[in-house]
């Protein structure tokens, strides 16, 4: 049985670009991500204020993302989402000023060519710790190519990223 649902939108997001390492990309309606090891790599950051959500055992935290685009040369791309420890300022952060090194906790999901124009969800509850006020995550593509996601600045609210946190009693299967 689900006891409570809380919907949280990101309070900040930005793309970091290695090839334009001193420019800020925090005001765009989409964020593009690639493999972080390439010369033209792009990594995205997203920050959620989670101080007022229930944290701990028996929660799901479904991150909903709108897939705006991906390459056509492969059936799918693998996207990695990882927790990062450092905070960032959306309109100031650049590749040069931020180290998007992941903590040891990460999740991944596949984006298929057929997913373009749809939303997808991944449970990121494993990245949330009790007592934390902020959840800062980084996104990148593990296997080459790119994936384009709607950002918090997208003009259509239904396409904006969001986190739905649900608290369950201990009898639920998740």
Q: How far apart are CA 38 and CA 36, in angstroms?
A: 6
pLDDT at 99: 84
Q: How far apart are CA 48 and CA 9, in angstroms?
A: 7
pLDDT class of 101 with cuts at 50, 70, 90: confident
Q: Is the pTM of this model over 0.75?
A: yes
Mean pLDDT value of segment 28-32 = 93
Whether the CB-CB separation of 65 and 149 falls below 8 Å is answered with yes
Decide if pLDDT at 137 tops 50: yes
Q: Which fold has domain 2-168?
A: Jelly Rolls (2.60.120)
Indicate the average pLDDT of the chain.
89
- Tens of pLDDT, residue by residue over 2-29, are 667 899 999 999 999 999 999 999 999 9
Q: Extract the tokens encoding 71.
A: 């390459």
pLDDT at 170: 63
Decide if pLDDT at 174 tops 80: no
């Amino acid at each position: 049985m689900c006891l409570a649902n809380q919907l949280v939108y990101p309070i900040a997001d930005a793309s970091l670009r290695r090839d334009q390492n001193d420019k800020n990309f925090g005001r765009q309606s989409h964020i593009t991500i690639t493999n972080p090891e390439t010369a033209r790599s792009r990594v995205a950051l997203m920050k959620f204020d989670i101080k007022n959500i229930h944290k701990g055992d028996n929660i799901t935290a479904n991150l909903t993302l709108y897939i705006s685009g991906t390459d056509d040369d492969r059936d799918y791309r693998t996207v990695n989402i990882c927790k990062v420890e450092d905070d960032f300022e959306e309109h100031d952060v650049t590749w040069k000023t931020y180290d998007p090194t992941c903590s040891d906790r990460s999740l991944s999901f596949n984006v298929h060519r057929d997913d373009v124009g749809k939303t997808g969800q991944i449970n990121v509850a494993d990245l949330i710790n009790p007592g934390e006020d902020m959840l800062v995550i980084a996104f990148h593509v593990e296997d080459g190519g790119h994936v384009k996601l709607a950002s918090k600045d997208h003009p259509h609210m239904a396409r904006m990223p969001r986190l739905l946190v649900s608290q369950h009693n201990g009898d639920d299967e998740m």
